[in-house]
Amino acid sequence: MGFEFDCVLYCELCNTMVDIRNSNIFTKNLVIGLDKSYNLWYNKDMKNNNNNKTKAFVFDFDDTLASTNAKVLVRIHRVPSQVLTPAEYSTYELADGESFDFSEFKNPEFIINGKPLGLIELAKEIHAEGHSLYILTARNEIASSPIAGFLARFNITAKMIHCVGEDSNTNIAKAKQSVLMTIIDNHDITYFYDDDEANIELASSLDCRTELVEGK
């Protein structure tokens, strides 16, 4: 719901003016985007209202808080056949004879030295204000310590880093939904940021606010 003034949209939900000329149009869920100058705009109402209630902010890692050069290899009988980005891996289904090779993902240097994305500024504010900050990633448990190292570069400490990609048969969206349910049960208000539409779609069925992150 909003009122349009030229190319600027007033969002009653966000209580803010948004220049929509270079941004992604809102869908069912609020969308975070980056304009061409790479200035992040987001729903500031999420931080400033309901100050007496406990809040949890849950962030995906890859292509949400950070980008890395690490790739997942697909091997057929130990021979590399494809190279997948983190986003491609989250939806890839192995064919007969295929297996994943996470050797680059297991290299902590790729994570610790990852490139911060625009949402890192929001994460810094949330941490400084004392709210609960969680990481919920499709990576496996070996990534937990390097992700903590990445966050430490920005003086951020996560309350918990949840790694749900334990094996190739894991349904990432359902695994993230399950973790979110526990977080929601322990906070009055929960916000979830992710760049994957499938993850956002399942999370939207829960009692939390979801935001699809688009653009790097």
Question: What are the DSSP calls for 83-101, one per residue?
Answer: EE-HHHHHH--PPTTEEEE
Domain that holds residue 192: 2-213
- This prediction has a pTM of 0.69
Range in 42-46, 58-62, 119-123, 172-176 the model is least confident about: 42-46
In this predicted model, what pLDDT tens digit does every residue of 190-205 receive, in sequence order?
999 999 999 999 999 9
Which residue type, as a one-letter code, is found at position 215? G
In the 8-state DSSP scheme, what is residue 196? -
Sequence-separated (6 or more) residues with CB below 8 Å from residue 104: 69, 70, 71, 72, 73, 110
Mean pLDDT of the chain: 79
**CATH number for position 91:** 3.40.50.1000
In the 8-state DSSP scheme, what is residue 11? E
> How far apart (Å, rounded) are the C-alpha atoms in residues 146 and 141?
10
In this predicted model, what pLDDT tens digit does every residue of 67-112 receive, in sequence order?
988 888 899 887 878 888 877 877 788 888 888 888 887 789 999 9
In total, how many domains does the chain have? Answer: 1
What is the pLDDT at residue 193? 97
